[in-house]
Structure 1
């Protein structure tokens, strides 16, 4: 199912509002999206009549907006790939990304990314949209990723994420035994000698990570982590700096005897469905490849 239009009934408290105020203030349409509707092939209607954003609304009016057809980059070709859908409705997808798949195409990974796979899924199911990732996962990180099916949902979810209303919880396997729980607050910036690597530095952007130790065997531990900010490589950098590098994370000093990618997994996403306001908590199991470590641990 692909929803490209939205319909609302004007309430008593919205009587005499302009259509612009109704859409921007009551329905949280971004200025950019409203402009796209006006100038890129969308439509604005009140009681099925085309109108301008200056139109004054009356109680009981039916407001309908049609989103413009989405342009898909020619480089984002549909390719069948590996991912699992954990939740889907007309506006969003929550999918599981494997650890060896990049989220979006890049110079190093130009195709066979999650974005290519989602575009193949859209093509096969008649969904006329492009790829809108609300959150992203590093190529070596597995787990749940939230995807918006259209620009309106993407705008609303991106705003919710900036306001801290979209919560993700990660699991990581680390070397050593960190304290039972705590908070790492240390600014992160790009390392001067690398275009990829980040580090804790005084002139970096504020970064806060909360963690809790779940199990350990005295040599390595399973921890759960929640981000208060969303800096690039934040969990990986904070754990390395704290002396508990993620197993498999070669970029940040992790032990690679078993894994060649970081043992980091987003296992829970908690969000509010942007159009229905329903609370959603989506969860996944830890990767079975972690059993080598977790089976040897004792829960705290």
Structure 2
């Protein structure tokens, strides 16, 4: 195991006169924008961020000309091992990394997955990322969901990407194959929280967090639909829960698809392929965001994985066999 890394932070800034008369935490957030408000507030309370050498409270007023001094240590979040795991990197610069995640790769260590995760791979590829909260992971994909993810390589990039995600300016569009024939697209606005009966599952529940998905039809088959889903929010298992909630669960979803349904008079190959599809048929296809430092709008697209393409081919063959 690696020992916990600590990164020393030493910053000073003079308060501009146009910021004078505001609360210390508000001024600090503007002068040290690479750190989140909650982190700065914690440092103020701990006495690590002083005003003219004095320890103040976050709500205390500061005046123009005062000097803010930050002397703190950023602790890496946990004891993680760097592992040489191959990554499919589609874009990288000094601030961010965009990867195309394969099926089977867990994003973050947890019970049952202490290593062999994307986080372990990131520590090997960018050792300094240990000093960024959660090693720069700002959003996740489920273990068996494929496709695009952005990772922050610096604290400043992490703070700004989290802000974009909260403001819903990051565009994340997925493709999936669902059971059932969807007649037209629509919007799902249904709160998601932990299932009261099974804690490992998420569910649409009155006490859940707001969750909004927009879906549209790409191609219809006899008993299935190839769909595109755009996330407005990013709740755990959101697409899987939402599509199941409206009666169109994802092919191969071991948790939310329910009992296997056989399309009428389908070929044995088709039935077998649907029954044995090894994961939920979900792929993070498009990612678009503002670069956290330059502000440039950037976009990426990931090709559909082979297993997804093969299933679409079988579904088309099945449709043509019955139409013609």
Query: Structure 1 length normalisation: TM-score?
Result: 0.79
In structure 2, what is the equivalent of residue 164 of structure 1?
168
Select the structure of larger CA radius of gyration.
Answer: 2
Residue 152 (structure 1) aligned with residue 156 (structure 2): yes
Q: Which aligned pairs between 1:60-99 and structure 2 lie closer than 5 A? A: 68=73, 71=76, 73-74=78-79, 76-99=80-103
Aligned counterpart, 2:299:
281
RMSD: 3.7
SS in 1 for 2:158: helix
Q: What SS does the aligned partner of 1:153 have? A: helix
Aligned residues of 1:189 and 1:199 also touching (Cα < 8 A): yes
Residue number among 126, 137, 153 corresponding to 1:122 in the alignment? 126
Shift of 1:105: 0.5
On the 8 A contact 1:16/1:57 being kept in 2, the answer is no
Unaligned runs of 5+ in 1: 45-49
| 1:191 corresponds to | 195
1:198-237 pair list within 5 angstroms: 198-237=202-241
User: For 1:60-91, what per-residue CA distance to the aligned partner results, in whole angstroms no more than 9, with x for missing partners?
Assistant: xxx999995552532x1011113211111221
Once the two structures are superposed, residues 271-290 of structure 1 have per-residue CA deviations (whole angstroms, 9 ceiling, x without a partner) of 11122111111211111211
Q: 2-side partners of 1:80 and 1:136: how far apart?
A: 20
Q: Is the Cα–Cα contact under 8 Å of residues 77 and 116 in structure 1 kept in the other structure?
A: yes
Give CA deviations for 1:246-284 in whole Å, capped at 9, x if unaligned: 111011126552322111111111111122111111211
Report the equivalent of 1:103: 107
Between Structure 1 and Structure 2, how many residues are aligned? 285
Select which of 24, 28, 51 maps to 2:29. Answer: 24
Partner of 1:263: 281
Secondary structure of 2:275's counterpart equals coil
Whether the 8 Å contact between 1:216 and 1:297 is mirrored in structure 2 is no
Instruction: Please tell me whether the aligned partners of residues 173 and 284 of structure 2 are also in contact (alpha carbons under 8 angstroms).
Output: yes
| 1:223-268 Cα deviation digits (max 9, x unpaired) | 1101122221111011112121111101112655232211111111
Return the offset for 1:38: 7.7
Distance 1:281 1:90 in 2: 17
What is residue 254 of structure 2 aligned with on the other side?
A: 250
Asked whether the equivalents of residues 37 and 68 of structure 1 are also in contact (C-alpha less than 8 Å), the reply is no
Conservation of the 8 A alpha-carbon contact between 2:76 and 2:130: no
Q: 1:26 to 1:71 in 2, by over 3 A?
A: closer
Normalising by structure 2, we get a TM-score of: 0.74
For the Cα contact (< 8 Å) 2:291–2:298, is it kept in 1?
yes
Determine if contact 2:95/2:152 at 8 Å carries over to the other structure: yes
